[in-house]
Chain A
Amino acid sequence: MVPVVEFKNVSRVYGDPASSESMVKALDRVSFEVVKGEFVAITGPSGSGKSTLLHLIGLMDRQSAGEIFVDGINTKNLSDNKLAKLRNEKIGLVFQQFNLLRATPAIVNVELPLVYRGISASGRHEIAKNELIKVGLGDRLQNRPSQLSGGQQQRVAIARALVTNPSLLLADEPTGNLDSKTGEEIIKLFEDLHEGGVTIILVSHDPNIARRAKRQVVIKDGRIANGHS
């Protein structure tokens, strides 16, 4: 079976390539893979390279060396536009800060990825509505983010991430901005989604959150610390 995400000796170096002293190696020859239906946590101390890894998995950044495959597609030589399209189709992103459009109703926020996919207004509305019902916000379609609680806002963001039916749900510290009770609800939602077959990668520095995943990838100083992927 083709892995959903596959990293082969991926490095990411920041700084001026002309002077080797100013170079910072954020990721150093990282290899791992995530197969369909997995629930993986990427964890590690701050500055370990978690965020860099997240950005590369989310196709928002490009590696300095190595190869990244998403659903078997090598992303190395894709143009920016192709990468944006792939991101739209394959990856559903959930952020710590929710990142919802403030003045915009929940349903329109959820519709947003479908807008860039070119789906008609009526089609979008239907799909987004179903997605919001699934995360338990069927009665909050027209509410703006400011009229929703933190947990509800994160649910809207999860609905937005899932609305394109992506191959991978990629969450960056999804409970970091929530109290522990609400955070627990969100983690529960992730577990339910995992039960339903959604492939999830969750990035968190919190071991208690990471432990809830079925597999942990610990990253330290830009390398995978728990040896095996």
Chain B
Amino acid sequence: MDTVELVRSAARAIRTNKTRSALTTLGIIIGVAAVILLVSIGNGLQAFVTEEFESLGSNVLLISPGKVSFSGGPPRNVEAKFDFSDVRQMGDLGDPIVKVSGMISKGATMKYRSKTYFGNLAGVGEEYLEFGNVEIEAGKFFSRSMLERSQMVGVIGHKVYEELFGGVGNPVGREIDVTGSKVEVIGKLKEKGGGLGGNSDENSFVLMPVTTAMKVTGIKKPAAVMVRIRDADSAAAASRKIKNYFYRKNLTDDDFTILEPKELLESITSFLGVVTGALSGIAAISLVVGGIGIANIMLVSVTERTREIGLRKALGATNRDILLQFLIESILLSVVGGGVGIGIGWGISAILRQFIETAVTAGSVMMAFGVSAGVGIVSGLAPAVRASRLDPIEALRYE
């Protein structure tokens, strides 16, 4: 019996019981659609995170006070055991360190006339702009001399602009109140897009010269240090140089953490990978349930078609012919279900793409297809074996 005829006769058998076949495949449809969808969301999230980190630049290291660990608990606020004079000296460590910028930050109440906004105050060096995180939209960034004179100037983020100025007019030259100090707005940052929302990005910041910020907040130690290095490959060398500098100052590994964005990205993407995998695993359980449904219906079908099996054997079908017939029927059921599931998962993922990033990959489609074919084989095997072993005489007598 050739394959084409096997598939054709399986399709005929499935069409004979349309409603039953549709309900049977529903489990597979839902399972495959869920897997496709979840994997596409996971992939989208990874792509988004990667993109964000790449915009930060792979040639930047971050130094954080204290020990930062990804595995346990939220980062603690630790006062740094190094200060801005260390930041300056690290800037002179030479190749591959190009530029070093320290910053402090603190939640801040900002006021303009009757408007109040709770944002963040960040004290940074004049070189902050060069790290490429932010762009100036109106006015200018502060200069070295402004920093040296601790001038009361600030550059506001887009959110601050919207909250305090209602998003209209030119804020440059206006005076706002930042935690009780009068600060002149000298520039506005371009809106940072694509964020996940919340108050953590530069949109909610007022950027001030670090010297001014220290005066306003009373904070004396840097909260973070950004180090620009020659290129991504020199990260290890730069990080060694910084470590040695700290060791010379009698600091230990518990007093600072050097984060390489590349490493950070890797740990985040691998974490997202695990989350995606776990979610898909849960979705895959419904595939197993779907497989049991198919096995069940195939067993019913074998019983119902006992006479047919007897007849086919009487007409010359071998045990193998009967086995393949029922196996192909089961595979066809679950592969059709898999196909429909892929379509639905794809469709929902396309709809979601208007809100969040999603990506259906060829890999996940092929996997879903392979898994549903596998489910078909596994769940069809027992019923097919039972069918193939029927005695033709008994089967023909069956009522």
Contact = CB atoms under 8 A, between A and B. Distances in A.
B318 A115 contact: no
B313 A84 contact: yes
Given A99-B307, A112-B312, A121-B5, A81 B396 contact: no
A93 B2 contact: no
Interface in B374-397: 392-393, 396
A13 to B, nearest CB: 15
A103 B16 contact: yes
B316 A117 contact: yes
Given A99-B307, A104-B12, A87 B2 contact: no
A87 B317 CA distance: 9
Nearest to B13: A103
B362 interface: no
Contacts of A85: 316, 318
A8 interface: no
Interface size grouping (class) on chain A: 20 to 34
Contacts of B319: 80-81, 84
Interface string A146-168: 00000000000000100010000
Interface residues of B, number: 24
Contacts of B1: 115-116, 118
A161 B317 CA distance: 14
A61 interface: yes
Interface in B68-82: none
Contact of A87 (B310, B316, B320): B316
Interface string B27-68: 000000000000000000000000000000000000000000
Contacts of A80: 318-319
Contacts of A95: 396
Contacts of B12: 103-104
A55 B395 CA distance: 13
A30 to B, nearest CB: 18
B318 A93 contact: no
Given A99-B307, A116-B321, A88 B315 contact: yes
B314 interface: yes
Given A101-B308, A104-B12, A93 B393 contact: no
A118 B6 CA distance: 11
A121 B393 contact: no
Nearest to B2: A118
A116 B307 contact: no
Contacts of B16: 103
A60 B315 CA distance: 10
Contacts of B196: none
A84 B319 CA distance: 9
Contacts of B392: 60
B4 A113 contact: no
Interface in A74-126: 80-81, 84-85, 87-89, 93, 95, 99, 101, 103-104, 112-113, 115-118, 121
B311 interface: yes
A49 interface: no
A174 interface: no
B4 A121 contact: yes
A113 B315 contact: yes
Interface in B297-317: 307-308, 310-317
A167 to B, nearest CB: 14
B233 to A, nearest CB: 64
Contacts of B316: 84-85, 87-89, 113, 116-117, 164
Contact of B318 (A55, A81, A89, A104): A81
A151 B321 CA distance: 30
A58 interface: yes
A193 to B, nearest CB: 19
Contacts of A60: 313-314, 392-393
Interface centre among B2, B16, B318 (most CB of A within 10 A): B318
B17 to A, nearest CB: 9
A2 B310 CA distance: 30
Contacts of B307: 99
Nearest to A99: B311
Interface of A: 55, 58, 60-61, 80-81, 84-85, 87-89, 93, 95, 99, 101, 103-104, 112-113, 115-118, 121, 160, 164
Interface of B: 1-2, 4-5, 9, 12, 16, 307-308, 310-321, 392-393, 396
In the complex, the 6 A-B pairs of residues with the closest C-beta atoms, listed nearest first: A88-B316, A116-B316, A103-B16, A113-B315, A99-B311, A84-B318
